Structure 1
Amino acid sequence: MAAAKSVLLAFLLSSFLAGTALGKGYSTTRLSEGQQCRLRRIQSVQPNQRIESEGGLTELWDYNDEQFECAGVVACRNTLRQNSLFLPEFHNAPRLIYIERGRGLLGITFPGCAETYHSDPSAGERRGGLERLGGQSETEQSERRDQHQKVHRIRRGDIIAIPEGAVHWCYNDGDEELVAISVIDLNNQNNQLDERPRAFFLAGGFGGGERGFRGQTEGRGGRFNYRNIFQGFDEHMLAESYGVSPDLIRRMQSQNTDRGIMIQVRERMRVVAPEQDDEEFELEEEERFRRRRFNSEEDEAAARNGFEETFCTMKVRQNIEVRREAEVHSRQAGKLNLVNMHKMPILQYIDMSAERGRLNPRALYTPHWSITDHRLVYVLRGNAHVQITDNNGENIFDERVNEGEMFVIPQFYTTVARASNEGFEWVSFKTSGQPMKSPLAGYTSVLRALPIEVIENAYEMSPREAMEVKFNRDHQTFLLSPSQQGGGVGRFD
């Protein structure tokens, strides 16, 4: 029996990894007509659709907006109230989440992975779970104690990676609302359905007279069919599958349909979660995995097998607020924190990454373009003057962006940003696990790598002027301190 169970678990895990672990690099890129990025204008926008639930609020950006269609993504902001549960769901594409505010517990279930956390009947868990088994002996209750996969402690500043098809839920056990910004990469090669966001809920949904629910909306879209997946099955077949009565199945099919996808919990939940020591051990294991070097194709193949072995315990979150871990740090200009596949190997397989940035008042983010990815930029605090130009040199975005707004920077489009007197903070979601940028100013810039004569002739400059263009920002990169020289005053100042 034990051997058969091990074989089954291995099969489930390998099946899951077959879709998840390959990533985009092993498939042919597909671009729909809507993703040809024929953008004439980009706008910084707020969510335009609202879905109310008993335990919180879901706000969605219009995924039919041409800038989101170009990037092949959909974005939403979930606000989970205190002592409320976001019901279990899975999506048709990988998802990257940033916790903007609050703290809570997050569960992610990977098929084929063992149940590694167990309740202790003698340590107070009985009140939360085993007492509900009423009528059973203490021995029977002990044999049926709760077992589950790891539950993660999440907090403000965390980036969380969730592969497509992985069931996840969230519980707010903190003392304030938990606010999460989510981006789903619909154009990811692991999504073989279509380029529409699809949420599959295991419980809950929306009630009402007709099937589906129409949320409050200010733009296109607005019709949502969020009902749990059990509702479509025959109750007797499910009853036989679970070995329970059809009455219980009917309750599973209809429960919470009038409470939405976030519900208030009547009694405080008690869930077995890792202690701090476990989190530190997890970080050490991740660091050892990250430092591996592949000297041959055989080494890399062996590493992939090792990845399957460690997948069940792999880190799915990384705090992006830790200032001492900033990749770019300038006292005069600001900081950049990156989370890519080298910090979180799971990002190699969902092919996404994130950036958390802070610009000091009046500082600049150097003109640059992305070589590998589209970017969705969400404004956390402050504001900035941002410009984006396309391949024709036309300005398609020239706006002051403000807190709570989001906009897209398409791959290869060139952009520059200058913070206001209040400063500027943002988080970017990227459609590549190993993003690369090419700057136009600073010591790592394209112009600094060109010979002086090339710059002279290309721009009809004198040697002195070419030297100034090439070397005046020689001591800075990406984040540029405020400068009086050539600064001028723009229409947003």
Structure 2
Amino acid sequence: MAKSTTTLFLLSCSIALVLLNGCMGQGRMREMQGNECQIDRLTALEPTHRIQAEGGLTEVWDTQDQQFQCSGVSVIRRTIEPNGLLLPSFTSGPELIYIEQGNGISGLMIPGCPETFESMSQESWREGMERGMRGGRFQDQHQKIRHLRQGHIFAMPAGVAHWAYNSGNEPLVAVILIDTSNHANQLDKDYPKRFYLAGKPQQEHSRHHHRGGESQRGEHGSDGNVFSGLDTKSVAQSFGVSEDIAEKLQAKQDERGNIVLVQEGLHVIKPPSSRSYDDEREQRHRSPRSNGLEETICSARLSENIDDPSKADVYSPEAGRLTTLNSFNLPILSNLRLSAEKGVLYRNAIMAPHYNLNAHSIIYGVRGRGRIQIVNAQGNSVFDDELRQGQLVVVPQNFAVVKQAGEEGFEWIAFKTCENALFQTLAGRTSAIRAMPVEVISNIYQISREQAYRLKFSRSETTLFRPENQGRQRREMAA
């Protein structure tokens, strides 16, 4: 009996260690040269380079900044104007895409997956191919199309080509994190490579870009797509088309950039947009019988609405909410080795001082502004400043951080470099301080037992704290 108990105990400890350290081994190959994370000062970062295209704008953060070198990621922001079409492309590292604003649709070209969206029955496919069109309309088949909505996060595996179209009436804004240090990326760890299937776009990350400034369409004519460098005749023979069409694929005279305008709107086969249907589908994925193992790469759920208040993991009517997206509620993230967190703090509210156990955290301001303080291993403040909408800051692993909203509140999205990122609070009901005996607290901080007791039990909240003046007013009323 004792042996069985010991075995069970060791098994429980092993499972706990796997959960805690799942991102520290073979999943992420961080080949750091020197001490990239020995940071003495952090700054709120804004894009350093802008690439203007016909149908939108791409803004690029400097990947050579020490914060990105430490975290091993790159970040861009795309603004696609109404009727703008982002040309299909893929990267060598996985991506997390957060839709900050707007609505649209996106298509993925996943290798080996069937074309399940079709405008006719299977029986008429051969006849449609022979005639090319029926009733004045072209017949079509293609892979699944997904709706893009504000608040959604999309997980994009490495090497999967995808396009996006703004079908709404306002700009579609997406913040994109590329994990360059992921084991899937075997190319350049400093400057991620994006491979386009059409057009003649500029490379988003290159050494000459990070001097700052803005590039217009056609300013760097040497860039191209995957067909540009092939022999025109070979392209024509590969597709069974004329060389004139092959030259169109190579796009050597196309100066529209990576986002083009569709003059009469994009008409593709897609199911009607239904939020209630999406919610029901997500609930089915979360049912007790579903753990994600039944998904294939073709049917995998790739997105989640992280802005939905009903999905919050932590909620306080007086302080705000916190929503976590990881491999447990979006299984595809276990392959990407990434996760995310959406935070909303009401006016002057605070997120408890905490640190990330097993991940770097890339914090992007979505709305409002908030004061963020970050402390390194030496106990020195490396960041104490305001983070505004559109700015980002990197919090290295284990650095202590505290966030407090300004007068208008503060919202952020945090990308984390682990599929199951964990954080430990330093104040509040589930904090490290709360876990210690009063006598220990009294001795380590050289305070009385009464003071240690108040220090340990003064905050009843777990993660999100209401402003202290509100808490004081409540205590005075209760007294």
Shift of 1:274: 2.7
Aligned equivalent of 1:478: 463
Distance 1:403 1:23, change over 3 A: closer
What is the match of residue 427 of structure 2?
A: 441
Q: Deviations 1:277-325 (Å, cap 9, x if unpaired)?
A: 8645643552248843xxxxxxxxxx86x44xx3211111111111111
For residues 314-333 of structure 1, the aligned pairs below 5 Å read: 314-333=300-319
2:87 corresponds to which letter in structure 1?
L
Secondary structure, aligned partner of 2:30:
coil
Q: 1:204 to 1:162 in 2, by over 3 A?
A: same
Q: Distance in 2 between matches of 1:450 and 1:256?
A: 68
Which residue pairs with 2:255 in the alignment? 258
- Distance 1:39-1:441 versus aligned 2 partners, 3 A rule: same
Q: 2:77 matched to which residue of 1?
A: 77
Equivalent residue runs for 1:400-411 within 5 Å: 400-411=386-397
AA matched with 1:152: R
Cα 1:324/1:26, change in 2 over 3 Å: same
| 8 A Cα contact 2:73 2:181, kept in partner | yes
* Contact 1:85 1:170 survives alignment (8 Å): yes
Partner of 1:49: 49
Partner SS, residue 388 of structure 1: strand
Residue 205 of structure 1: aligned partner = 200
Matched residues, number? 440
Normalising by structure 2, we get a TM-score of 0.84
Counterparts in 2 of 1:118 and 1:64: CA distance versus 1, 3 Å? same
- Residue in 2 that maps onto 1:103: 103
Aligned positions of 1:172-191 closer than 5 A: 172-191=166-185
Query: Structure 1 residues 227, 35: closer, same or farther in 2, change over 3 A?
Result: farther
1:283 alignment partner in structure 2: 282
Give the SS at the match of 1:231: coil
8 A Cα contact 1:334 1:358, kept in partner: yes
Q: For structure 2, which runs of at least 5 residues remain unmatched after alignment?
A: 1-21, 122-126, 473-479
Unaligned runs of 5+ in 1: 1-21, 122-129, 293-302, 488-493
> CA RMSD of the aligned region, Å?
3.2
Distance verdict in 2 for CA 1:326–1:320, change over 3 Å: same
In structure 2, relative to structure 1, the CA distance for the partners of 1:256 and 1:272 (3 Å cut) is: farther
Aligned to 1:357, the other structure's residue is in SS state strand
CA contact (8 A) 2:50 2:215 kept: no
Contact 2:23 2:418 in 1 (8 A): no
* Residues 374-408 of structure 1: per-residue CA shift (max 9 Å, x gap): 11111111111111111011111111111211110
- Does the 8 A contact of 1:87 with 1:202 survive in 2? yes
- 1-structure distance, mates of 2:133, 2:320: 59
Contact 1:377 1:428 in 2 (8 A): yes
Q: For residues 42 and 459 of structure 1, what CA distance do their matches in structure 2 show?
A: 29
Q: Give the conservation status (yes or no) of the 8 Å contact 1:388–1:415.
A: yes
**Shift in Å at residue 38 of structure 1?**
1.7
Any idea what SS the aligned residue of 2:434 has?
helix
| Residue of 146, 149, 154 corresponding to 1:152 | 146
C-alpha displacement at 1:53, in angstroms?
A: 0.3
1:424 aligns with 2:419: no
Aligned pair 1:66/2:51, yes or no? no
Structure with the larger helix share: 1
> When the two structures are superposed, what TM-score results if normalisation uses the length of structure 1?
0.82
Aligned partner (choices 315, 333, 342) of residue 356 of structure 1: 342
Q: Residue 245 of structure 2: which of 237, 244, 248 is its match?
A: 248
CA distance in 2, matches of 1:449, 1:337: 24
Q: Which amino acid aligns with 1:287?
A: R
- Comparing 330-339 and 214-223, the one that deviates more: 214-223
Are residues 482 and 284 of structure 1, via their aligned partners in 2, closer, same or farther at CA, if it must alter by over 3 Å?
closer
Describe the shift of the 1:350–1:415 C-alpha distance in structure 2 as closer, same or farther (beyond 3 A).
same
Partner letter of residue 44 of structure 1?
A
Instruction: Decide whether the 8 Å contact of 1:150 with 1:274 is kept in 2.
Output: no
Q: Is the 8 A contact 1:290 1:345 kept in 2?
A: no
CA spacing shift, 1:219–1:39, aligned 2, 3 Å:
farther
CA distance in 1, matches of 2:425, 2:340: 18
- Equivalent position of 1:238 in the other structure: 235
Q: Deviations over 1:180-219 (max 9, x none)?
A: 0111111111111121211100011248xxxx99769538
Match of residue 384 from structure 2: 398
Deviation at 1:26, TM superposition (A): 3.9
1:269 matched to 2:266? The reply is: yes
Structure 1 residues 427, 256: CA separation in 2 closer, same or farther (over 3 Å shift)? farther
Contact 1:87 1:263 in 2 (8 A): yes
- 1:367 matched residue in structure 2: 353
Residue 203 of structure 1 contacts residue 228 of structure 1 at CA under 8 Å; is this kept in 2? yes
Aligned to 2:156: 162
Residue identity opposite 2:70 in structure 1: C
In the superposition, relative to structure 1, how do residues 149 and 97 fare at CA in structure 2: closer, same or farther (>3 Å)? same
Partner of 1:271, secondary structure, is coil
CA distance in structure 2 between the partners assigned to 1:470 and 1:344 by the alignment: 36
CA gap of 1:254–1:290, structure 2 versus 1, over 3 A, is farther
Deviates more, 1:59-68 or 1:221-230: 221-230
Q: 1:25 deviation in Å?
A: 4.9
What pairs up with 1:213-228 in 2 under 5 angstroms?
Answer: 218=212, 226-228=223-225
From the superposition, tell whether residues 25 and 181 of structure 1 become closer, same or farther in structure 2 (CA, over 3 Å): same
Change (3 A) 1:281 1:334: closer
Tell me, yes or no, if the aligned pair for 2:27 and 2:337 is still in contact at 8 Å: no
